[in-house]
Structure 1
Amino acid sequence: MNIQLLAHRGGMGRAPENTLASFKQALSDGADGFECDVCLTQDKQPVLIHVDFNRDDIREATGCTTPLSQLNWKEVRQLKSQNSNEPVAHLDDALRFARENQMPCFVEPKSDTPELLPIIIERIHHFDVVHLVSILTFYFKKQKQLLVEAKRLEPQLQTSAILINPMVNYLKAATEIDANRIIFGWNKINHFGIYNVFTRSIPRQVDELRANGIIVEAGFILTSQDVAWAMRNGIQGLWVDDVPYIRNCVKQITNETGA
């Protein structure tokens, strides 16, 4: 079974998150794609900083106490990713890297402010990377509408929805917003696995998604137990912080099970 390994925030276990250094490391590690978080500066420049949705507190990501909405790009480009010497990157850095290396890039808008998504798509067009980019966000009320709007603005764009609730109908959720990918999302504790112990429904729902041409992924994946669960349930892609470690887990499980 060929499983894709996708670098969460560029592979934040291997290099500072959302930086050009992390994308280079992901490429070197053999990742099948990388993800980055995008938000806007005061002067409407798209920058790569992880913040909570519709928030502009960048202290955790950069150590800067000034809200992003009060900083222009000239000021932001002087900031460093927390605990590193890597500068904050611009969306252009990620898209240029994707184009130069023909590497898939997953862009997560961190706000539903009306300006952000059109700016992201304009930059995607500028670098001629529609074929390489997927817009990614959570399947929550506000966020999932960004996926619908992305395809309205550019019908050729791929979209990816992160599901947190294991009790929803996965195929219905995907078709409702015309998503190309469904990602089972969890943080440390795989509640999809716990849910499946009681319902035994996830393999069937995964098969339904795949039969309808929808790619099924999971993450973020931290342990060999998560890898084994994903492989048993037909998951096609793993979102990971450390690509080499998870690749070794995949190889070991494959050798042990013959999967």
Structure 2
Amino acid sequence: MTLIFAHRGSAGTHPENTMSAFKEAARVGADGIETDVQLSKDGEVVIIHDEKLNRTTNASGFVKDRTLMELKTLNASNSYKGKMGNERIPTLEELLIWLKNNQLLCIIELKNTLFLYPGLEEKVIRLIRSYEMEERIIISSFNHYSLVDCHQLAPEIETAPLYRDGLFMPWIYAKAIGGSAIHPNIRVASDIIIQSSMCAGVPVRPYTINKESDMKRLYSLRCSAIITDFPGIAKRVREEFE
């Protein structure tokens, strides 16, 4: 069965990367969630996608220039213009505490391409281990040097490279850097790439799958998983397909 990961929670229906988006993903029956982490000015692991605050909050400037206390005063549902009230930027620890009460899997994307965030890998791994979530977490990133570091620090935690351009035999590349799966952009996830990777024992989880036609194609291939902004729709289409 193709697993459904809710991209930044149920980002198509709720403010992305907020607890309401994660809870909605659980409510509609997603198998897992995908989220993004960065470091605050005082070194706390916070959940937010953009390096800048402008798009998703009522503030401007960089995440890295605000302390956790300052970040917690912001409204993270800015893109919904008050339709869902105030949402706070969660910490990774808050998310892990919530995950302890369910069975969802979780992809954690390290947002460390624009800013390297020294110590991010160690802090994320320490939190995962402290909540005994090693078997349910997948660490992913466009920064593949960071994934190598994570694999060396915690070989028991799955890693998977994110990529948006075509790679030759990406399943071999993933294994070469200690990865266990690949997370390609849907544009470079052809049928043959998906099938060849899965045949090699390397799961494929393309992003961001929001069209029903793409969902049906991937379900027909028995693709390992999809990452979607609309987990509720993906669940309905999967049930109809089955």
2:59 is the counterpart of 1:64:
yes
Q: Which residue of 2 aligns with 1:199?
A: none
- Which residue does 1:77 correspond to in 2? 72
Query: Counterpart in 2 of 1:5?
Result: 4
| TM-score normalised by structure 1 residue count | 0.83
CA distance in 2, matches of 1:107, 1:68: 17
In structure 1, the gaps of 5 or more residues are: 197-201
Name which one, 1 or 2, has greater alpha-carbon Rg.
1
Question: Percent identical across equivalent pairs?
Answer: 24
Measured against aligned partners, the alpha-carbon deviations of 1:120-139 in whole angstroms (never above 9, x if no partner) come to: 1111122121111110113x
Question: Which residue in 2 is equivalent to 1:105?
Answer: 106
TM-score by length of 2: 0.89
Matched residue, 2:137: 133
Letter of the 2:188 counterpart = F
Cα distance between partner residues in 1 of 2:145 and 2:135: 21
> Bigger shift: 164-173 or 21-30?
164-173
1:201-242 superposed Cα distances (whole Å, 9 cap, x missing partner):
x42x43332233211122211111111222343412111111
For CA contacts below 8 A with separation 6 or more, give which structure has more relative contact order: 2
Separation in 1, partners of 2:141, 2:197 = 18
| More displaced 10-residue stretch of structure 1: 205-214 or 93-102 | 205-214
Aligned partner letter, 1:249: V
Deviates more, 1:173-182 or 1:38-47: 173-182
Q: 5+ unaligned residues in a row in structure 2: which ranges? A: none
2: CA distance, partners of 1:147 / 1:167: 17
- Would the aligned equivalents of 2:25 and 2:232 in 1 still touch at CA under 8 Å? no
Give a deviation string over 1:126-160, Cα, whole Å, max 9, x none: 2121111110113xxxx011111111111100112
Instruction: Spell out, residue by residue over 1:153-199, the C-alpha distance to the aligned partner (whole angstroms, 9 max, x if none).
Output: 1110011222322352222222121212212214xxxx337xx5xxx
Q: Which residue of 2 aligns with 1:24?
A: 23
Map Cα deviations across residues 71-107 of structure 1 (whole Å, 9 max, x no partner).
Answer: 1111111111123511111111111112221321111
Query: SS of 2:36's equivalent?
Result: strand
Q: Which amino acid aligns with 1:80?
A: N
Q: What amino acid is the match of 1:71?
A: R
How is 1:141-180 mapped onto 2 (pairs within 5 angstroms)? 143-180=143-180
Alignment RMSD (CA, Å): 1.8
Name the structure with the higher helix share: 1
- For the 8 Å contact 2:207–2:228, the answer to whether it is kept is yes
C-alpha distance in 2 between matches for 1:220 and 1:135: 17
Give the corresponding residue for 1:192. Answer: 188
**Alpha-carbon offset, residue 250 of structure 1:** 2.7
SS at match of 1:135: strand
State the aligned residue count.
233
